[in-house]
Chains A and B, each alone.
Chain A
Amino acid sequence: AQKVTQAQTEISVVEKEDVTLDCVYETRDTTYYLFWYKQPPSGELVFLIRRNSFDEQNEISGRYSWNFQKSTSSFNFTITASQVVDSAVYFCALNTNSGNTPLVFGKGTRLSVIA
Chain B
Amino acid sequence: ETGVTQSPTHLIKTRGQQVTLRCSSQSGHNTVSWYQQALGQGPQFIFQYYREEENGRGNFPPRFSGLQFPNYSSELNVNALELDDSALYLCASSFPGLDYNEQFFGPGTRLTVL
Residues of A near any B CB (own CB < 8 A): 4, 33, 42-45, 47, 50, 52, 91, 93, 98-108
Pick the contact of A43: B31, B42, B104, B108 (CB < 8 A): B108
- Are the CB atoms of B44 and A105 closer together than 8 Å? yes
Let me know if B71 is at the binding interface, CB within 8 A.
no
Residues of B within 8 A of A33 (CB): 100
Residues of B near any A CB (own CB < 8 A): 31, 33, 35, 40-45, 48, 56, 58, 88, 90, 92, 94, 96, 99-108, 110
- Are the CB atoms of B103 and A44 closer together than 8 Å? no
Question: Which residue in chain A gives the minimum CB-CB distance to B41?
Answer: A107
A44/B108 contact (C-beta < 8 A), A33-B100, A102-B48, A103-B103 known: yes
Pick the contact of A99: B35, B44, B88, B101 (CB < 8 A): B101
Within the complex, what minimum Cβ distance (angstroms) separates A25 from chain B? 13
Residues of B within 8 A of A44 (CB): 105-108
Question: What 9 pairs across the A-B complex have the smallest Cβ distances?
Answer: A105-B42, A102-B45, A99-B101, A45-B105, A44-B107, A99-B100, A43-B108, A107-B42, A105-B43
Residues of B within 8 A of A42 (CB): 107
- Are the CB atoms of B43 and A103 closer together than 8 Å? yes
| A108, B101: Cα distance in complex, Å | 23
Within the complex, what minimum Cβ distance (angstroms) separates B103 from chain A? 7
Question: Which residue in chain B gives the minimum CB-CB distance to A97?
Answer: B101
| A33, B42: Cα distance in complex, Å | 17
- Are the CB atoms of A99 and B41 closer together than 8 Å? no
- Are the CB atoms of B56 and A101 closer together than 8 Å? yes
Within the complex, what minimum Cβ distance (angstroms) separates A40 from chain B? 11
Most buried by B among A33, A93, A102: A102
What are 12 A-B pairs with beta-carbon distances under 8 A?
A42-B107, A44-B107, A45-B90, A91-B42, A93-B42, A99-B101, A100-B96, A102-B56, A102-B58, A107-B40, A108-B41, A108-B42
- Are the CB atoms of B88 and A43 closer together than 8 Å? yes
Residues of B within 8 A of A93 (CB): 42
